[in-house]
């Protein structure tokens, strides 16, 4: 397992490779070093774009995966993809995991998942296309593994945000 964390530029179109600028180190409560966000998170206003942006690279069954945390638009696109499966019991949960995996995967063995041909394709169309590909082409074991890796990455992002909050919190002052 390789835990190589980088950054994801949310200003880029989904599925496109983003640059990885310099990052700063943060520590968890137990003293372990956490992966860091892009230095751009410190900039006024624009920094909000980068808070929560992490990527992870790992090997599984001889394949190299790169995944990233998702933004709000992508999470809402998952809801659009799920519409036909809502209320189907286990199908809804399986569709959710499959859609999340389809959107969080940046590449497999250096290749991006299929994307709509038109440059101006809408995010919902992009999400539907990737969902259809993963649903038809990948076995549940692969979806489950990538989903679990995504949950770990999201947990790491939460820890980093919490550490950032502590690092940038105002210090208590004493009266007088």
Q: Is the pTM of this model over 0.85?
A: no
Number of domains into which the chain is organized: 1
Task: Establish if 73 belongs to a structural domain.
Answer: yes
Higher pLDDT, 175 or 105: 105
Q: Which domain holds residue 47?
A: 4-165
CA 168 from centre of chain? 24
Task: Establish if 175 belongs to a structural domain.
Answer: no
Average pLDDT over every residue of 106-122: 79
Alpha-carbon gap, residue 147 to 99, rounded angstroms = 10
Reduce the DSSP state of residue 45 to 3 states and report it: coil
Task: Establish if 172 belongs to a structural domain.
Answer: no
Per residue in 76-99, pLDDT (tens digit) is 999 999 999 999 988 999 999 999
Question: So what's the pLDDT on residue 19?
Answer: 46
Per residue in 124-140, pLDDT (tens digit) is 888 999 999 999 999 99
Task: Establish if 170 belongs to a structural domain.
Answer: no
Cβ partners under 8 Å of residue 127, min gap 6: 74, 77, 78, 80, 81, 99, 102, 103
Task: Establish if 116 belongs to a structural domain.
Answer: yes
Task: Establish if 95 belongs to a structural domain.
Answer: yes
Taking residue 74's Cβ as centre, other Cβ atoms within 10 Å add up to 19
Long-range Cβ contact pairs of 138-141 (< 8 A, separation 24 or more): 138/101, 140/94
Question: So what's the pLDDT on residue 17?
Answer: 45
19-23, 54-58, 59-63, 105-109: which has the minimum mean pLDDT? 19-23
Per residue in 1-10, pLDDT (tens digit) is 444 445 555 5
Task: Establish if 12 belongs to a structural domain.
Answer: yes
Average pLDDT over every residue of 153-161: 85
Task: Establish if 103 belongs to a structural domain.
Answer: yes
């Amino acid at each position: 397992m390789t835990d190589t964390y980088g950054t994801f530029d949310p200003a880029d179109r989904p599925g496109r490779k983003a640059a990885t600028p310099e990052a700063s180190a943060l520590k968890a409560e137990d003293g372990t070093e956490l992966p860091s966000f892009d230095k751009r998170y410190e900039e006024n206003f624009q920094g909000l774009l980068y808070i929560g942006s992490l990527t992870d690279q790992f090997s599984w069954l001889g394949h190299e995966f790169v995944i990233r945390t998702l933004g709000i638009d992508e999470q809402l696109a998952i809801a659009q993809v799920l519409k036909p499966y809502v209320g189907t019991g286990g199908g809804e949960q399986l569709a959710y995991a499959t859609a999340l995996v389809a959107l969080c995967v940046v590449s497999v063995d250096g290749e991006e998942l299929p994307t709509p041909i038109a440059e101006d394709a809408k995010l919902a169309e992009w999400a539907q296309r990737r969902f259809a590909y993963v649903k038809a082409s990948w076995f549940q074991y692969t979806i489950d593994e990538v989903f679990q890796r995504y949950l770990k990455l999201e947990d790491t992002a939460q820890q980093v945000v919490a550490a950032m909050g502590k690092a940038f919190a105002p210090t208590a002052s004493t009266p007088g």
